[in-house]
């Protein structure tokens, strides 16, 4: 079947066949030594240039840091056809099992395999033989033994249930004609507490019907893209919780014009779709099941060893913590299990500074994560700060910039941080230049 219009296709199977043809020909071009290939965006546009930085397909260009891809074979970069950089945004730990849906030439599988180390494993799943051949070639050039590529469909994942810690994917789910099944399968193979961490094209505010019916735009990752709220609703329906979408690149009118070029559609549609198509990072979690009971209470000096153990386990700074817990224990709170023998499984603390404070030291034991306990602790600390009449809460974070806006925190420039906050132990001792500063204003009630 040819690339004409989606309504010429007889459902998910036919769409899959056209997608396979498209990406098979991209993989063949790379294997034959092409220096740039057409990927996301309609077939026949100028080349994909994630690796080279040429002006080209607005979706796939310039996604990876040079430092991140150093050591990967050039073929892996050239065949990079994604719309984001999931391994940079996903939480990956040593020993994790990662699965990349629609792994293409394998770039994200190789990067994940390095991140999870020899005790972990990264699987790539793809249906296109030519892509799998490219990925195997790239794996042997990169010398990454803990990467494995599987042939199959993302609508029927060839792995047992409850075996994967993290599902990543890069610009693939939009290509499926049966997204509900892809999400149900993702839920099935994830372990309880497992993470869905996917880059994809997302629509905000709807696309014209002619765009949605264009097969070149479907295989080019645009026409099949889900609406933001639709994606969240499908994830929730599949059983996921805490589903969020973080925009990573919003496409301008010029980008839209580049995407429409060669599709046969009216170029003036670019005005209509400008700003409505974006790349986004989609996160969701498979629930762990009912959480064992734990109660939040103010810390006491006796809790200090447990607090320090939790912070060290989460690689968080402990400087200044002993002073606070011994002198003003109520500035910290802990979560303690109810069943005997009781145990402290989470902590959060404030470093108070006049009428403002720094929220620091939020740590939850690994097996208690994804139960909403960290969420409860942060809410508790925010209410506590409100109750004390504080004016604002500040924090520094290296990894959780996406997490805190749900509590009302906003990113701020380091230069806007008040002097007394910049002088706190937290800001002085735990302040790598790359940490993001955030603030939550508190309105007096
Ligand atoms: C846009 S490319 C992205 C490749 C890769 N994720 C990257 O970032 O370079 C889409 C890939 O998904 C694969 N794919 C598309 N639909 C699929 C499906 N239903 N099942 C398995 N693989 C699929 C294609 O073969 C292709 O390799």
Q: Which residues contact 100 (CB under 8 A, 6 or more apart)?
A: 86, 108, 109, 112, 122, 123, 124, 125, 167, 168, 169, 170
pLDDT band at 49 (very low <50, low <70, confident <90, very high): very low
- Closest by Cα among 183, 177, 230, 242 to 205: 230
Cα distances (Å, whole numbers) of residue 99 to 108, 122, 125: 10, 6, 7
| Ligand 1, CB within 6 Å, residue ranges | 16, 19, 23, 39-40, 80-82, 102-105, 107-108, 126-128, 131, 153-155, 170-172, 175-176, 221
0.85 cut: is pTM over it?
no
Predicted confidence (pLDDT) per residue in 144-190, tens digit? 999 999 999 999 999 999 999 999 999 999 999 999 999 999 999 99
Domains of the chain by range and CATH? Answer: 6-285 (3.40.50.150), 294-441 (3.40.630.30)
User: Given this model, what pLDDT does residue 433 score?
Assistant: 73
User: Given this model, what pLDDT does residue 424 score?
Assistant: 84
Are 191 and 95 within 8 A, CB to CB?
no
Angle, CA 211 vertex, CA 210 and CA 212 arms, to 5°: 90
User: Given this model, what pLDDT does residue 50 score?
Assistant: 34
* Ligand 1 atom nearest to 83, measured from its CA: 8
* Ligand 1 atom nearest to 24, measured from its CA: 25
The alpha helices in 261-388, defined as continuous H runs, are 269-273, 304-313, 321-327, 373-387
Average pLDDT for 70-92: 88
Predicted confidence (pLDDT) per residue in 178-225, tens digit? 999 999 999 999 999 999 999 999 999 999 999 999 999 999 999 999
Ligand 1: residue whose CA is nearest its atom 4:
104
Percentage of residues in the chain having pLDDT higher than 70: 91
Q: Using CA atoms, how far apart are residues 86 and 166, in angstroms rounded to an integer?
A: 11
User: Given this model, what pLDDT does residue 87 score?
Assistant: 93
Predicted confidence (pLDDT) per residue in 430-442, tens digit? 656 778 899 999 9
* 392-397/356-364 β-pairing: parallel
* Other beta carbons within 10 Å of 411: 12
- Is residue 136 pLDDT above 70, yes or no? yes
Higher pLDDT pick, 139 / 62: 139
Q: Which residues contact 184 (CB under 8 A, 6 or more apart)?
A: 238
Predicted confidence (pLDDT) per residue in 307-326, tens digit? 999 999 988 889 899 999 99
* Other beta carbons within 10 Å of 149: 21
- Is residue 56 pLDDT above 90, yes or no? no
Q: Using CA atoms, how far apart are residues 217 and 40, in angstroms rounded to an integer?
A: 9
- Is residue 36 pLDDT above 90, yes or no? no
Mean pLDDT of all residues belonging to the chain: 89
Q: Using CA atoms, how far apart are residues 427 and 445, in angstroms rounded to an integer?
A: 28
337, 338, 343, 348 alpha-carbon torsion, rounded to 10°? 40
The alpha helices in 155-260, defined as continuous H runs, are 179-189, 209-212, 215-219, 228-238, 253-260
The strands making up 392-397's β-sheet, listed across from edge to edge, are 294-298, 332-337, 344-353, 356-364, 392-397, 436-441, 410-412
pLDDT band at 78 (very low <50, low <70, confident <90, very high): confident
Q: Which tokens in the block code for residue 385?
A: 């700060």
User: Given this model, what pLDDT does residue 367 score?
Assistant: 79
User: Given this model, what pLDDT does residue 431 score?
Assistant: 57
Q: How far is the CA of 102 from the centre of ligand 1 (A)?
A: 3
Q: How far is the CA of 116 from the centre of ligand 1 (A)?
A: 22
Cα distances (Å, whole numbers) of residue 125 to 131, 173, 337: 10, 12, 40
Q: Using CA atoms, how far apart are residues 57 and 48, in angstroms rounded to an integer?
A: 5
- Is residue 289 pLDDT above 80, yes or no? no
Q: Which of 154-168, 232-246, 392-406 has the weakest average pLDDT?
A: 392-406
Ligand 1: residue whose CA is nearest its atom 8:
82
pLDDT band at 60 (very low <50, low <70, confident <90, very high): confident
Q: Using CA atoms, how far apart are residues 403 and 410, in angstroms rounded to an integer?
A: 11
Predicted confidence (pLDDT) per residue in 352-384, tens digit? 999 999 998 899 998 787 678 888 999 999 999
User: Given this model, what pLDDT does residue 55 score?
Assistant: 39
* Ligand 1 atom nearest to 155, measured from its CA: 19
Checking 2-10 for CB contacts under 8 A at 24+ apart, the result is 3/43, 3/215, 3/216, 3/219, 4/215, 5/213, 5/214, 5/215, 6/212, 6/213, 6/214, 6/215, 6/218, 6/223, 6/224, 7/213, 8/215, 9/177, 9/215
* Ligand 1 atom nearest to 79, measured from its CA: 9
Cα distances (Å, whole numbers) of residue 3 to 15, 96, 216, 221, 326: 9, 39, 6, 13, 69
- Closest by Cα among 313, 355, 354, 306 to 333: 306
- Is residue 22 pLDDT above 50, yes or no? yes
Helix (H) or strand (E) holding 395: strand 392-397
Predicted confidence (pLDDT) per residue in 248-272, tens digit? 999 999 999 999 998 999 999 999 9
Q: Using CA atoms, how far apart are residues 375 and 207, in angstroms rounded to an integer?
A: 35
């Amino acid at each position: 079947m040819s690339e004409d219009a989606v309504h010429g296709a007889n459902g998910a199977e036919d769409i899959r066949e056209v997608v396979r043809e498209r990406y098979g020909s991209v993989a063949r071009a790379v294997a034959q030594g092409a220096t740039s290939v057409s990927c996301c965006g309609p077939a026949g546009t100028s080349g994909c240039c994630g690796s080279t930085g040429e002006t080209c397909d607005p979706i796939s260009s310039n996604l990876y840091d040079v430092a991140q891809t150093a050591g990967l074979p050039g073929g892996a970069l050239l065949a990079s056809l994604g719309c984001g950089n999931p391994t940079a945004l996903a939480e990956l730990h040593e020993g994790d099992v990662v699965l990349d849906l629609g792994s293409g030439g394998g770039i994200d599988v190789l990067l994940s395999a390095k991140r999870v180390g020899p005790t972990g494993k990264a699987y790539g799943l793809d249906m296109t033989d030519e892509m799998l051949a490219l990925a195997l070639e790239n794996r042997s050039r990169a010398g990454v033994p803990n990467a494995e590529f599987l042939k199959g469909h993302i609508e029927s994942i060839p792995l047992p249930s409850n075996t994967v810690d993290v599902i990543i994917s890069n610009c693939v789910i939009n290509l499926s004609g049966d997204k509900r099944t892809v999400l149900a399968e993702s839920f099935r193979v994830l372990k309880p507490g497992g993470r869905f961490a996917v880059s994809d094209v997302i629509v905000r505010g709807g696309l014209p019907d002619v765009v949605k019916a264009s097969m070149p735009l479907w295989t080019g990752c645009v026409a099949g893209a889900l609406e933001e709220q639709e994606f969240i609703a499908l994830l929730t329906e599949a059983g996921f919780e805490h589903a969020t979408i973080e925009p990573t690149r919003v496409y301008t009118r010029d980008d839209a014009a580049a995407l429409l070029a060669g599709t046969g559609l009216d170029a003036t549609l670019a005005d209509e779709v400008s700003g409505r198509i974006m790349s986004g990072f989609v996160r969701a979690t498979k629930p762990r099941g009912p959480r064992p009971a734990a109660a939040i209470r103010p810390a006491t000096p006796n809790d200090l060893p447990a607090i320090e153990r939790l912070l060290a386990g989460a690689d968080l700074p402990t400087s200044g913590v002993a002073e606070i817990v011994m002198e003003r224990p109520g500035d910290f709170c802990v979560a303690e299990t109810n069943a005997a023998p009781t145990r402290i499984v989470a902590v959060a603390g404030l470093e108070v500074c006049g009428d403002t404070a720094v929220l620091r030291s939020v740590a939850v034991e690994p097996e208690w994560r994804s139960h909403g306990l960290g969420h409860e602790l942060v809410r508790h600390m925010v209410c506590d700060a409100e109750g004390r009449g504080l004016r604002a809460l500040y924090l520094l974070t290296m990894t959780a910039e996406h997490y805190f806006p749900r509590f009302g925190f906003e990113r701020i420039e380091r230069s806007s941080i008040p002097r007394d906050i910049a002088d706190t132990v937290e800001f002085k001792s735990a302040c790598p230049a790359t940490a993001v500063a955030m603030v939550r204003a508190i309105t007096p009630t």
